[in-house]
Structure 1
Amino acid sequence: MVTQPPTATAQRPAATAGDIAELLEPMRREILAHCYRMTGSVHDAEDLVQETYLRAWRAYHGFENRSSLRTWVFRIATNACLTHLEGRKRRPLPTGLGGPPADPANEPRQEVGVSWLEPMPDDLLWAQGQPDPAARAVSRESVRLAFVAALQHLTAQQRAVLLLRDVLAWRAREVAEALDLTVAGVNSTLQRARARMAEVDPEEPPQLPDDERRRALLRAYVEAFEAYDVAAIVDLLAADVVWEMPPFPEWYRGPRDVGRLISTWCPAQRAGDMRMLPTSANGEPVLALYMREEDGVHRAFHLQHIVPAEHGVARVTAFFGRELFTYFALPPELPPR
């Protein structure tokens, strides 16, 4: 009996959604980081990881091993992000709106018509909540808050090209195939994206390494807030500190103005009104602030993303929105001490 050879059109066996999820699980944090860089939203990034899994399951029968599984999956994830971003506005931080520093004498007003950039909890990016230098799948630099904020100034296609070329280190030909562009189109898009990033990604002062000086600065910062000692807070800020508070569009520069902002508009009135819990996001320290309300209970108020530098705290982004506490697995309120 003669056995016919398999045809060239034979397809791989059908895979279940569970099979695909198990296959892609080692790459999940990388995919999540990529979708976060593209969108600037934790919620959207998690949804897009699921969309990537679904699209991969639907297309897996046609995967012919002409590229690595990782390249194939990131191509799917990138295009899922591009579809999601169609017709959507960018997610800025207040400093990215283009306005000058605000006067702290004027009451901040929330801007509800803007979808703001969100912080990404470190626990979602790295297994132990911190980037492992030996495992560079997701680098600290590639998810730095200022870098992700700068990406929001690019078009969706520029973001995709820049991330695939400069973060994931794809060749221009691979990017062209993934995005249905020519190699010349990829190179010109990358050139424009790099030029724009050079304009909008601020060169931050050298950060303190994760050593005792850094820990001492953060301890003093927490103590000053919990004592509601505005003078002590001001002393811990760098001379050119920037303070912003999405969803408030105003932002502030300099210790004096930040001190006036806190003393004028912060709901706290005395020592003990504020308590802080440490966590981290985007590879940098975050302090969850709880405010004492009229019933005496300390409830979630905002998350302060901190950039500790050589001469004090260089930048604070205070993210208001209690739903963010859920992403960080933080309690909505604190028990009495």
Structure 2
Amino acid sequence: MAHDGEVDFEPYRGELVAYCYRMVGSFHEAEDLVQETMLRAWKARERYDPDRASVRTWLYRIATNVCLTALEGRARRPLPSGLGAAGDDPGAPLTPALDVPWLQPFPDARFDVGVRADLRLALVAAMQVLPPRQRAVLVLREVLEFSAAEVAGQLGTTVPAVNSALQRARAAVADAGDAGEVAEPGDPEVRALIGRYMRAFEAADVPALVRLLAEDAVLEMPPVPLWYLGRRDYGLFMDRVFAMRGTGWAVRRLTANGQPALAAYAPEPGGGHRLHTLQVLTVAAGRVARNAVFADPAVLGAFGLPERISPEESTGTR
């Protein structure tokens, strides 16, 4: 296989992007790292030995090395809720912290990567706390289900070292929180809940929004380092948003990180709507438990969303 024909790497691109995303917390960077992985694999294709490892195992070894090199000396990518205590002033200045390399969401529609439960934002954020090699072990063993021996080969280490790293990684991620059950976006009850949330948002009906929230709902807005905890402050902040940007929003439904997500379009004075934010929702126990709101143009661009929708397009967005 290595000597009498080309090895086809392309079928693995989507799952490799998801892997690199889990490692580095940035969709754009993950795409670049996979491109580097493919380039290295192509250059080394004559040395690939199918008797020693499958193409998939070999590619993950290359991708892991590419990611570990990229992560050397790098600060982790957090969400605001991972940096400090919740804010207590819903009227605080919304000053972005552009020096922080924020965690980014994963645009599900871009790649078919199968099961996405292990892509959810809170889990990826928890993984960012791990040292890079522990992060690799956790994803390779728990998510991708490589054997301990395969992971030892991919990392150039031993099976006992892999097992030890996996134990430490599991404990750290469990301590980092959000290990609870998170509902899938395709679940009929989840779709109905998100539909109600969208209608309340479009109507700027804050009391209706608050009724859909968990008691300890989290609202965070990278690159603004502020975050809020609880229905009261969530509602007060939404009052502020609608006072600042007006009512009559348009909302489109999508998914990100295997979670329900919304593209929110703010009304424009002359009619129509302009893209404002991408909101990634966590639904648990029949309520919205968390909303991570992204306004970074690079993040919005990754989802391929139109920047503006006309008045005609603003209806029927659900």
TM-score (norm 2): 0.90
Structure 1 pair 215/102, CA: closer, same or farther in 2 (3 Å)? same
Q: What's the offset of the Cα at 1:111?
A: 0.9
Q: Which residue of 2 aligns with 1:38?
A: 23
What is the DSSP-based 3-state SS (H/G/I as helix, E as strand, rest coil) of the residue aligned with 2:9?
A: helix
What is the DSSP-based 3-state SS (H/G/I as helix, E as strand, rest coil) of the residue aligned with 1:185?
A: helix
Q: Which residue of 2 aligns with 1:78?
A: 64
Aligned 1:282-301 pairs, distance under 5 A: 282-301=257-276
The answer on whether the counterparts of 1:165 and 1:172 sit within 8 Å (CA) in structure 2 is yes
Q: 2:3 aligns with which of 12, 34, 59?
A: 12
Alignment partner of 1:50 is 2:50: no
Q: What's the offset of the Cα at 1:247?
A: 0.6
What is the DSSP-based 3-state SS (H/G/I as helix, E as strand, rest coil) of the residue aligned with 2:251?
A: strand
What is the DSSP-based 3-state SS (H/G/I as helix, E as strand, rest coil) of the residue aligned with 2:44?
A: helix
Structure 1 pair 234/165, CA: closer, same or farther in 2 (3 Å)? same
User: What is the Cα-based RMSD across aligned positions, in Å?
Assistant: 2.0
Q: 1:275 aligns with which of 211, 226, 250?
A: 250
Greater shift after overlay, 274-283 or 307-316? 307-316
What is the DSSP-based 3-state SS (H/G/I as helix, E as strand, rest coil) of the residue aligned with 1:55?
A: helix
What is the DSSP-based 3-state SS (H/G/I as helix, E as strand, rest coil) of the residue aligned with 1:77?
A: helix
Greater shift after overlay, 196-205 or 151-160? 196-205
Q: Which residue of 1 aligns with 2:143?
A: 167
Q: What's the offset of the Cα at 1:54?
A: 0.2
Alignment partner of 1:261 is 2:252: no
The answer on whether the counterparts of 1:281 and 1:305 sit within 8 Å (CA) in structure 2 is yes
What is the DSSP-based 3-state SS (H/G/I as helix, E as strand, rest coil) of the residue aligned with 2:291?
A: strand
Distance 2:241 2:157 in 1: 51
Output one character per residue of 1:130-179: Cα deviation in whole Å (capped at 9) or x when no partner: xxxxxxx6322221221111111111111111111212222223222221
Distance 2:184 2:137 in 1: 32
Structure 1 pair 267/299, CA: closer, same or farther in 2 (3 Å)? farther
Q: What's the offset of the Cα at 1:105?
A: 3.3
Q: Which amino acid aligns with 1:275?
A: A
Q: What's the offset of the Cα at 1:262?
A: 1.5
The answer on whether the counterparts of 2:80 and 2:221 sit within 8 Å (CA) in structure 1 is yes
Unaligned stretches of 5+ residues in structure 2: 313-318
Q: How many residue pairs align between the two structures?
A: 310
Distance 2:184 2:116 in 1: 14
The answer on whether the counterparts of 1:162 and 1:193 sit within 8 Å (CA) in structure 2 is yes
What is the DSSP-based 3-state SS (H/G/I as helix, E as strand, rest coil) of the residue aligned with 1:38?
A: helix
Aligned 1:148-167 pairs, distance under 5 A: 148-167=124-143
What is the DSSP-based 3-state SS (H/G/I as helix, E as strand, rest coil) of the residue aligned with 1:304?
A: strand
Unaligned stretches of 5+ residues in structure 1: 1-10, 127-136
Q: 1:240 aligns with which of 198, 206, 216?
A: 216
Q: What's the offset of the Cα at 1:108?
A: 2.8
Q: Which residue of 1 aligns with 2:152?
A: 176
Q: What's the offset of the Cα at 1:112?
A: 0.9
Structure 1 pair 73/206, CA: closer, same or farther in 2 (3 Å)? closer
What is the DSSP-based 3-state SS (H/G/I as helix, E as strand, rest coil) of the residue aligned with 1:33?
A: helix
What is the DSSP-based 3-state SS (H/G/I as helix, E as strand, rest coil) of the residue aligned with 1:169?
A: coil
Structure with greater Cα Rg: 1
What is the DSSP-based 3-state SS (H/G/I as helix, E as strand, rest coil) of the residue aligned with 2:209?
A: helix
The answer on whether the counterparts of 1:208 and 1:310 sit within 8 Å (CA) in structure 2 is no
Q: 1:305 aligns with which of 255, 280, 287?
A: 280
Distance 2:288 2:86 in 1: 21
* Runs of 4+ in structure 1 over 6 Å off: none
What is the DSSP-based 3-state SS (H/G/I as helix, E as strand, rest coil) of the residue aligned with 1:173?
A: helix
Q: Percent identity?
A: 47
Q: Which residue of 2 aligns with 1:113?
A: 99
Q: What's the offset of the Cα at 1:118?
A: 0.9
Q: Which amino acid aligns with 2:64?
A: T
TM-score (norm 1): 0.86
Output one character per residue of 1:169-193: Cα deviation in whole Å (capped at 9) or x when no partner: 2222322222122333222222211
The answer on whether the counterparts of 2:86 and 2:229 sit within 8 Å (CA) in structure 1 is no
Distance 1:202 1:328 in 2: 25
The answer on whether the counterparts of 1:291 and 1:301 sit within 8 Å (CA) in structure 2 is yes
Distance 1:201 1:141 in 2: 15
Q: Which residue of 2 aligns with 1:314?
A: 289
Q: Which residue of 1 aligns with 2:118?
A: 142
Q: Which residue of 1 aligns with 2:316?
A: none
